[in-house]
Amino acid sequence: MSKAPKKKTVKPTELQNELLIYLNGEFVPKSEAKVSVFDHGLLYGDGVFEGIRSYNCLVFKLKEHLERLFESAHTIMLTIPYNQEEMTEIILETLRVNKLRDAYIRVVVTRGEGDLGLDPRKCKKATVFVIADSIVLYPEKLYRNGMGIITVPTVRNLPEAVNPQVKSLNYLNNIMAKIEANNSGYMEALMLNPQGYVAECTGDNIFMVKERILSTPPAHVGALKGITRQAIIDLARRNDVPVQERMLTRHDLFNADEMFLTGTAAEVIPVVSLDGRQIGNAKPGRVTAKLRSAFADLTKRDGARYSI
Q: How far apart are CA 153 and CA 159, in angstroms?
A: 18
Residue 93 found at the interface with ligand PMP (CB under 6 A): no
Output 154 or 174, the one with its CB closest to ligand PMP.
174
217 binds ligand PMP (CB under 6 A): no
Number of residues that bind ligand PMP (CB under 6 A): 14
Among 72, 98, 264, 288, binds ligand PMP (CB under 6 A): 264
The nearer residue to ligand PMP, 28 or 298, going by C-beta atoms, is 298
By CB under 6 A, tell whether 203 contacts ligand PMP: yes
Distance, CA of 135 to CA of 123 (rounded, Å):
31
Residue 90 Cβ vs ligand PMP, minimum distance, rounded to whole Å: 19
DSSP state of 113: B
Which of 19, 90, 224, 274 touches ligand PMP (CB under 6 A)? 224
b/e code 50-72 from CB counts within 10 Å (16+ = b): bbbbbbebbbbbbeebbebbbeb
Among residues 167, 210, 225, 300, the one annotated as catalytic is: 167
User: What is the smallest separation between the CB atom of 281 and ligand PMP, expressed in angstroms?
Assistant: 27
Does position 228 interact with ligand PMP (CB under 6 A)? The reply is yes
- What are residue 175's phi and psi, to 5 degrees? -65, -40
Nearest to 59 by CA among 3, 106, 4, 22: 106
Give the nearer residue to ligand PMP in terms of CB position, either 254 or 295.
295
The residue from 110, 151, 205, 288 that contacts ligand PMP (CB under 6 A) is: 205
Our CB check for ligand PMP shows the closer of 26 and 302 to be 302
Report how far residue 268's alpha carbon sits from residue 207's, in angstroms, rounded to the nearest whole number: 10
Mapping DSSP to helix (H, G, I), strand (E, B) and coil, where does residue 287 land? Answer: helix
If one asks whether residue 204 binds ligand PMP (CB under 6 A), the answer comes out as yes
- Shortest spacing between CB 262 and ligand PMP, in angstroms: 6
Please, what is the minimum distance in Å from the beta carbon of residue 124 to ligand PMP?
29
Residue 200 contacts ligand PMP per CB under 6 A: yes
Please confirm, yes or no, whether 8 is among the known catalytic residues.
no
By the rule CB under 6 A, 154 interacts with ligand PMP:
no
Is 84 exposed, middle or buried, given 0-12, 13-18 or 19+ CB atoms closer than 10 A?
Answer: middle
HSE-CB at 25 with a 13 A cutoff on CA atoms is: 6
Min CB(10)–ligand PMP separation in Å:
30
User: How far is the C-alpha of 135 from the C-alpha of 266, rounded, in Å?
Assistant: 9
Min CB(170)–ligand PMP separation in Å = 12
User: Is the Cβ–Cβ distance between 18 and 29 less than 8 Å?
Assistant: yes
**By CB under 6 A, what part of segment 47-76 binds ligand PMP?**
51
Q: Which residues pair with 259 in a beta bridge?
A: 208, 271
**Contact call for residue 226 and ligand PMP (CB under 6 A):** yes
CB 133 within 8 A of CB 174: no
- Our finding on whether 188 is near ligand PMP (CB under 6 A) is no
Q: Could you tell me whether strands 243-245 and 213-216 are parallel, antiparallel, or unpaired per DSSP bridges?
A: parallel
| Residues with active-site annotation | 167
Q: Which residues bind ligand PMP (CB under 6 A)?
A: 51, 174, 200, 203-205, 224, 226-229, 262-264
